[in-house]
Amino acid sequence: MKHPLETLMSAGGILLLAFFSCLLLPAPMLTLTLAHRLMATFHLLDLNQLYTIIFCIWFLALGAVEYFVIRFVWKRWFSVERE
């Protein structure tokens, strides 16, 4: 039986790991021409908006990957199965 707050804990775990990723892993850097092309494509006003979006997506994606890897390892090797 699943715990009723498992979905909430999943989202909280992803956000927590995203914050850890902010501290530990560098975000991708863009070349100036690619940055200007992305700004024109998404109709952004300045480079700060572009990098804010990139950082949010990057760290949330890393947090999600870290969460699912840790969850897989936990359930595969460390979890005690109850029958």
Compute mean pLDDT per 10 residues along the chain, 83 residues long, and list them. Answer: 73 78 75 93 94 86 82 80 57
Closest C-alpha among 54, 80, 66, 55 to residue 16:
66
Query: 5 lies in a domain?
Result: no
Q: What is the pLDDT of residue 38?
A: 93
Q: What is the pLDDT of residue 67?
A: 81
**First vs last C-alpha separation in the chain:** 11
Query: 23 lies in a domain?
Result: yes
Query: 47 lies in a domain?
Result: yes
Number of domains the chain is built from = 1
- At residue 75, what is the residue type? K
Name, in order, each residue with C-beta under 8 angstroms of 35's C-beta and a sequence gap of 6 or more: 47, 50
Residue-range definition of the domain harbouring residue 27? 11-78
Closest C-alpha among 19, 11, 10 to residue 58:
19
Prediction pTM value:
0.65
Contact assessment for residue 33 and residue 61, using Cβ atoms and an 8 Å cutoff: no
Query: 33 lies in a domain?
Result: yes
Q: What is the pLDDT of residue 46?
A: 93
Contact assessment for residue 14 and residue 64, using Cβ atoms and an 8 Å cutoff: yes
